[in-house]
Amino acid sequence: MLDKLKPGQFTVDYILKKAKTQYENGEATIKINPKKTALIVIDMVEEFTNPKLTPSWIPDATAQIPKIKELLDLSRSLRVPIIYTYFEFRPDYLDMSPAWREAWTPLDKFDDYEGPPLFQKESIDPALKPNYDTDIVIKKPCYGAFTGTGLDYVLKNLKIDTVIICGTMTNYCCGTTAREAHAHGYKVVFGSDINATDDSEIQKAELKTLRRGFALVLTKDQIEEALQGKGAFAEKDS
C-alpha cells in the first residue's frame, strides 16, 4: 500500500511498509557523469589494513584492497579525480579531535595496546598508493572528511558535483563523509562492496540508512559500468 494518501489516512502499517521498502530497495535518482565526479578513498591506511598493526586492523578493509585498486585504475584511465584521506597527528595530538584525544567513547580507548604511536605519518596502504603528481591527499582530524579540511574547496575548484566513496569504516568515517557530502549539496555514490567495517550486521544497517536518505548505493561493478557510460546509472550524452 504505497499509493498516495491524504492526511489522516496514514496508518502504522503503511509507514512501516514504506520504510522497509525504502531501506531495502530505495534508489536515489543520481546519474554518474565521470567529468563531474571524484573518487574519494577514505582512510585506507596501514593501521586499518595491515594485520600486524593492532588493535586498529579491519579485516574486511584488507580484503577489499583488490577491488578498490581496480576502481582506482579505471578512474585514472578516465581522468576521474582521486582524493585520498588519511590520519596523521602531532606527537602531542593537539591537532586531533578532542573527542578522540580525551577518549570519550569506547572506540577511542586503546588500553590493550602497547605498540608504537599510531597515525604519526601518512600511511596509505602500499597497494593503493596515490600518484602524488596527480592525486589529492588530504589529512583529516576526525571522522568526516569535510570537517577541518579543505575538501569542499577542492571539489568546488574541480567543478565536481558527484562523489564516489570507498574505504573504511563504513559506519564511521565513510558514512560520516557521505552524510557531510550530502549536507554540502553533493550527489553521493556509496560502494556497497568497497566500504568496510568490523561487523557484518552493522555494515548492512549502515547501507540501508545511506540508501534511504543519503546516497545511491551501488556495487563496485555498477560504479565502473556507470563511469564508462554504460548501464542504468550513467548520465547519458555527458
Domain layout of the chain by residue ranges: 28-227
* Confidence band, pLDDT 50/70/90 cuts, at residue 234: very high
What CATH number has the domain spanning 28-227? 3.40.50.850
Provide the grid cell at 38. 571524484
Q: Residue 53: how many CB atoms within 10 A of its CB? A: 17
In angstroms, the CA 144 to CA 21 distance is 28
- Work out the pLDDT band at 3, boundaries 50, 70, 90: low
Show the DSSP H helices in 50-199 as ranges.
Answer: 59-63, 65-77, 98-101, 151-157, 175-183
Lowest-confidence pick of 87-91, 98-102, 145-149, 192-196: 98-102
**Considering only CA atoms, which of 165, 142, 159, 140 is closest in space to residue 150?**
140
Whether the predicted pLDDT of 164 surpasses 70? yes
Separation between Cα atoms, residue 148 and residue 87, nearest integer Å: 12
Q: What angle do CA 232, 225, 161 make, to 5 degrees?
A: 75
- Please compute the mean of the pLDDT values over residues 167-176 and round it to a whole number: 98
Q: Residue 1 has what pLDDT? A: 39
pLDDT one-digit tens code per residue, 135-160: 999 999 999 999 999 999 999 999 99
The Cα 116–Cα 120 span in angstroms is 9
Per the prediction, the chain carries an average pLDDT of 94
